[in-house]
């Protein structure tokens, strides 16, 4: 089944950027990922929300064809993250992380969810990533993402995840923190030694470095006139990437990964143009295709 299973945060975020502030807007790694990947493939989302989570925010995914039966609503408050960007839009400073309902989350996959071929373990507690990984049957491709918090407080669990995935996506600074190296190329080599067949190191406006055992591939980000809020760009990138692989029914060949990373880059360029999911939620296939053609002109001699 070329369907994508994603586990990750479903959140309300409070975000400050040089363009302004947004209080308790919809966010979370699984939301950005699902909206992006749903442009290409059937997505099934696994996560938990509290009593305060708006029905309209569940409908946003359902209206895009995402299977929301793996979303649990429990008593308590939805995960909340507060972050700010000061000067450097490539790096969020976390002000507060309130796990709330995620603190006691124990994901239980249905038989259909266990059979998904593509699995994305979006940024979330690595113990939850492992729980999902232990339940899926024989996926074709598993990718994961993470962040500094989990490197700081759950490194052993995180290393167990990384050892078992085919592809890791990670921010540049976090890759250096994880590997205790000082540049992205050195970090990518260390990460490949940890287990994955491929790694994508995300570098904000500078794009990414993708590395496999065969070599490297780099692309800049799509230049956009104004970056309003970079939150979710990484998860959106992953959604575009996994969506492409699932749609074309691909496993990890370097050539296919390049195309998948191109798709991720184009998709992420929409997210940063407005706060939260505001731009991504109205994206059409034709918006995506038009921008992809513009990007190809920008990067071709």
Question: What is the binding site for ligand AMP (CB under 6 A)?
Answer: 9, 11, 13, 27-29, 81, 97, 123-124, 147, 149, 231-235
Q: By C-beta, is 30 or 141 nearer to ligand AMP?
A: 30
Compare residues 117 and 143 and give the one whose CB is closer to ligand AMP.
143
Provide, rounded to whole angstroms, the least separation between the CB of residue 161 and ligand AMP.
13
Taking the C-alpha atoms of residue 39 and residue 261, their distance in angstroms, rounded to an integer, is: 15
Nearer to ligand AMP, 117 or 151 (CB): 151
The minimum distance between CB 210 and ligand AMP, in angstroms, equals 17
- Please, are residues 68 and 61 in contact by the beta-carbon 8 Å criterion? yes
CB of 228 to ligand AMP, least distance (A): 13
Min CB(289)–ligand AMP separation in Å = 23
The first and second tokens of residue 140, run together, are 């074709």
Are residues 221 and 204 in contact, defined by beta-carbon separation less than 8 angstroms? yes
Residue 260, C-beta contacts closer than 8 angstroms, at least 6 positions apart = 240, 241, 242, 244, 245, 250
Q: Which is closer to ligand AMP, CB of 26 or CB of 250? A: 26
List for the chain the helix, strand, coil content (%; round to 5): 40, 25, 35
Kindly give the residue spans of alpha helices, DSSP state H, lying in the chain: 29-37, 55-63, 111-114, 126-135, 148-153, 155-164, 172-179, 184-194, 233-247, 254-271, 285-299
CB-nearer residue toward ligand AMP: 27 or 264: 27
Name the closest residue to ligand AMP (Cβ).
27
Rounded to a whole number of angstroms, the minimum distance from the CB of residue 110 to ligand AMP is 23
């Amino acid at each position: 089944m070329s369907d994508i299973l994603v586990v990750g945060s479903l959140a309300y975020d409070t975000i400050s950027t040089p363009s302004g502030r947004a209080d308790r807007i919809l966010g979370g790694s699984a939301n950005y990922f699902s909206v992006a990947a749903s442009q290409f493939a059937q997505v099934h989302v696994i996560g938990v929300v509290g009593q305060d989570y708006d029905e309209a925010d569940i409908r946003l995914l359902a209206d895009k064809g995402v299977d929301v039966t793996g979303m649990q609503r429990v008593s308590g408050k939805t995960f909340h993250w507060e972050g700010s960007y000061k000067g450097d839009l490539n790096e969020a400073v976390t002000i507060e992380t309130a796990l709330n309902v995620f603190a006691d989350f124990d994901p239980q996959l249905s038989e259909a969810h266990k059979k998904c071929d593509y699995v994305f373990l979006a940024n979330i507690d690595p113990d939850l990533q492992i729980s999902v990984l232990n339940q899926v049957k024989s996926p074709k491709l598993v990718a994961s993402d993470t962040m500094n918090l989990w490197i700081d407080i759950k490194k052993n669990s995180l290393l167990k995840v990384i050892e078992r995935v085919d592809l890791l996506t990670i921010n540049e600074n976090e890759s250096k923190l994880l590997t205790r190296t000082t540049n992205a190329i050195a970090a990518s080599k260390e990460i490949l030694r940890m287990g994955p067949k491929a790694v994508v190191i995300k570098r904000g406006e500078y794009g990414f470095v993708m590395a496999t055992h065969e070599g490297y591939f780099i692309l800049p980000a799509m230049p956009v006139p104004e970056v309003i809020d970079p939150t979710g760009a990484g998860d959106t990138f992953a959604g575009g990437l996994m969506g492409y692989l699932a749609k074309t029914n691909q496993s990890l060949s370097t050539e296919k990964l390049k195309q998948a990373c191109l798709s991720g880059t184009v998709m992420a360029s929409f997210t940063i143009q407005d706060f939260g999911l505001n731009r991504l939620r109205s994206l059409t296939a034709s918006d995506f295709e038009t921008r992809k053609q513009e990007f190809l002109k920008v990067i071709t001699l």
